[in-house]
């Protein structure tokens, strides 16, 4: 009986992995490139559990039927994964981190939009918050006098200060790092509201632990959260 209970739990775990991967909800936990791994893991878990339960049933005969009521309690966490839509990391997680972006180990080009580097343009250049947070501090000469467009969620701070924020993942939400840009010149929208802001590079703010990227904001437009909230 214990073998059958364990097999049933594993089947539901595998089903939960498949549901997360197919629905796209997995993006709230891990990076997009890990989708196929989740699908493969879900299929393998289900297949192994079914094979194990069938082989155990043949050995034990037909004398055992059903599951004890207590066994169903083991499935509650798995059912929760199937029916509960978990929120992505937001302002609460960002507020526990420093808005200072670490200096890159080596010079790198922005991943989000590198075409602007050698061009003089008056149109706002779309950049990821991660790129801007780093480049606005460590590549000032290349950023001065330029306009940029950033999309992220609102993280409020003290004395009316607020940040446009995105969480960057190395692997999964457990290693999520907040990249934050101080938004100047406009009142803060509601906490966790997703916005697209445009504005000009501004001199970074000084803190005891380093400098914080800043943008003199000209426009703030509320937007829907993206399918993949992480960078």
- End-to-end CA distance of the chain: give it in Å, rounded: 46
Q: Is pLDDT above 90 for 120?
A: no
Q: Is pLDDT above 50 for 20?
A: yes
Position with higher pLDDT, 76 vs 140: 140
Residue-by-residue DSSP string for 131-178? HHHHHHHH-HHHHTT-EEEEEEEEEE-GGG-EEEEEEE-SSBGGG-EE
User: What does the pLDDT average to over 9-33?
Assistant: 73
pLDDT of residue 139: 87
Q: Is pLDDT above 60 for 63?
A: no
pLDDT of residue 1: 47
pLDDT of residue 57: 63
User: In degrees to the nearest 10, what's the CA dihedral of 144, 120, 184, 87?
Assistant: -120
Residue-by-residue DSSP string for 77-97? HHHHHHH--PPPP-HHHHHTS
Q: Is pLDDT above 70 for 70?
A: no
What tokens were used for 93?
């997680």
d(CA 171, CA 9): 26
User: What does the pLDDT average to over 108-134?
Assistant: 71
pLDDT of residue 59: 64
Residue pLDDT, tens place only, 157-206: 999 999 999 998 887 777 789 999 999 999 999 999 999 999 999 999 99
d(CA 11, CA 19): 12
d(CA 44, CA 87): 27
Q: Is pLDDT above 50 for 71?
A: yes
pLDDT of residue 111: 56
pLDDT of residue 67: 53
> ∠ CA(200), CA(130), CA(169), 5° rounding?
160
d(CA 87, CA 84): 9
Q: How far is CA 23 from CA 11, 33, 85, 108, 172, in A?
A: 18, 15, 11, 34, 17
Domain ranges of the chain: 2-83, 91-222
Report the half-sphere exposure of 148 (CA within 13 A, side-chain side).
32
Give SS3 for 182: strand
Q: What is the pTM of this model?
A: 0.71
Task: Band the pLDDT of 38: cuts 50, 70, 90.
Answer: confident
pLDDT of residue 117: 53
Position with higher pLDDT, 173 vs 66: 173
Which of these ranges, 17-26, 128-137, 167-176, has the smallest mean pLDDT?
17-26
Task: Band the pLDDT of 151: cuts 50, 70, 90.
Answer: very high
d(CA 153, CA 15): 32
Which residues are CB-neighbours of 50 under 8 A, at least 6 positions away?
7, 11
- The CATH code of domain 91-222 reads 2.40.50.140
| Residue (of 193, 201, 187) closest to 127 by Cα position | 201
User: What does the pLDDT average to over 215-221?
Assistant: 97
Residue pLDDT, tens place only, 83-114: 666 677 899 999 999 999 877 765 555 555 55
């Amino acid at each position: 009986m214990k073998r059958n209970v364990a097999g049933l739990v594993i089947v539901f775990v595998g089903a939960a992995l498949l549901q997360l991967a197919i629905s796209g909800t997995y993006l709230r936990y891990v990076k997009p490139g890990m989708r196929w791994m989740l699908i493969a893991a879900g299929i393998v878990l289900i297949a192994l559990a079914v094979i194990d339960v069938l082989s155990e049933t043949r050995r034990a005969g037909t004398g055992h039927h059903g599951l004890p009521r207590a066994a169903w309690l083991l499935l509650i966490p798995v059912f929760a994964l199937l029916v509960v839509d978990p929120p992505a990391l937001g302002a609460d997680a960002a507020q526990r981190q420093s808005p200072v972006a670490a200096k890159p180990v080596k010079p790198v080009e922005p991943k989000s939009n590198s075409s602007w580097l050698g061009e003089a343009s008056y149109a706002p250049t779309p950049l990821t918050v991660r790129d801007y947070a780093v480049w606005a501090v460590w590549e000032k000469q290349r950023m001065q006098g330029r306009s940029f467009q950033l999309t992220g969620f609102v993280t409020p701070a003290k004395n009316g200060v607020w940040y446009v924020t995105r969480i960057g993942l190395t692997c999964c939400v457990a290693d999520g790092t907040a990249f934050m840009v101080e938004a100047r010149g406009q009142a803060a929208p509601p906490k966790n509201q997703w916005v697209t802001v445009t504005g000009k590079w501004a001199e970074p703010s000084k803190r005891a632990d380093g400098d914080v990227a800043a943008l003199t904001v000209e426009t703030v437009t509320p937007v829907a959260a993206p399918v993949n909230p992480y960078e």
